[in-house]
Amino acid sequence: MFLTEKEIFSQYEALRRTYDYMLEKADSIRDLVTRHNPKSLTFIGCGSSYCLCRSGSISTKIRVGMAANAMAAGDLLVNFDQYKEMLEGTVIIAPSRSGGTSEVILAVEKAQVLGVPVIGISARVDSPLGKIADVNLEIPWAFDESVCQTRTVTNLYAANLLLVGIIAGDDSLIEEIDQAIANGDEFMNKYSDLARENAEQDWENVVILADGELEGIASEAAIAMIEIPQIHASYYHVLDVRHGPMVLIDDKTLVIAALSPAETTLQQKLVEDLRDRGARVLAISQEGQGPWNADWEAYLPVYKNAAVMGIPFIFFPQAIGLFKALAKGLNPDLPPGLEAMIDLNK
């Protein structure tokens, strides 16, 4: 068994430990926020972690009612002087698999010179990030040995969301994350065959569609499809795909769409338009929605907090990407030219 397969299908065991750990650290998180009374949260990361930052910033705006930003750590590092005013009165949240990515460490160090407090979330113990963070959160059971991130991504997404829930005092959000984790293994078992069937189809590029708090985890889904089966993939907001990207969608395109329970007629029409262009569509929505008249339809448990849908949603691009890589005869653990951690000193 490849590491990627093992890590995808063991992610809910890790998620349970992450959930329990984050609640244990809730007082430390609240204490830092109370001491500094920030006017904003700034999420920074690289690659997959940056994608998750995008979801984290939206969740903060919606659930905490506080200004929030998501920044690529490399952008912050290179253009630090341009962003100084944005960092005034903020707390940095830095999720990272390795806790050692150069751009993250160097950007954090620059911010700390200005007195900006930092919460680091790493899947490594005693990482460079952990040693300099004001609050150091470590979830080593989520670490992916594979170069491509799967289990780590889902755990960092959940950790960001739990952190937001803790800051907001949102017990409903925290309880629904618990429910999603409890349902996880059964959910993966239910849809594994669908993922395998999908991967066996003859498509050559992937479009991921999602809105709201799923923006970041959906943009990460596109990265997973690029890295694991080495297929061109892009992310767009659901209805926005018509504004330009539609011209590249054809009978070699797979569309994975996370659909909203609101404005269903508009979304049904979009599915129809996509299929008219020859695309194969996997529609993912909450139970009781649809039918969408898609090629495949998958249903998530109903969660009042839309962000929780991101936890089961990411399984589909991860599993489809894995099975597509295997069908192509690729090693999903070691895509050529990709490194698990970027060290700018090399």
Contact indicator for 162, 177 with CB cutoff of 8 Å: yes
What per-residue confidence (pLDDT) applies to 343? 55
Alpha helices (H) in 128-281, listed in sequence order: 128-132, 151-168, 171-182, 184-199, 215-227, 264-276
**Span 93-132, pLDDT tens digits:** 999 999 999 999 999 999 999 999 999 999 999 999 999 9
- Rounded Cα gap, residues 64 and 39, in angstroms: 11
For residue 337, pLDDT over 70 is answered with no
Q: DSSP secondary structure string, 322-346?
A: HHHHHHTT--TT--TT--SS--TT-
Indicate whether 134 pLDDT > 70.
yes
308: three-class secondary structure by DSSP: helix
What is the residue whose two structure tokens read 């006017």? 39
Q: Is 193 helix (H, G, I), strand (E, B) or coil?
A: helix
CB 137 within 8 A of CB 25: yes
Q: CB-based burial of residue 343 (10 Å sphere; 0-12 exposed, 13-18 middle, 19+ buried)?
A: exposed
Average confidence score pLDDT of the chain: 95
pTM of the model: 0.95
Signed CA dihedral, 40, 14, 302, 314: sign only = positive
- Evaluate the CA torsion angle 130, 12, 304, 195 in order and state its sign: positive
pLDDT of residue 287: 87
- Under CATH, what is the fold of the domain 185-327? Rossmann fold (3.40.50)
Cis peptide before 291 (omega within 30 of 0): yes
Give backbone dihedrals phi and psi of 258, rounded to 5 degrees, phi first: -90, 110
CB 42 within 8 A of CB 92: yes
> Can you tell me the distance from the alpha carbon of 280 to that of 294, in angstroms, rounded to the nearest whole number?
8
Give percent of the chain with pLDDT exceeding 70.
97
Looking at the predicted structure, is the pLDDT value of residue 56 above 80? yes
What CATH number was assigned to the domain covering residues 3-179?
Answer: 3.40.50.10490
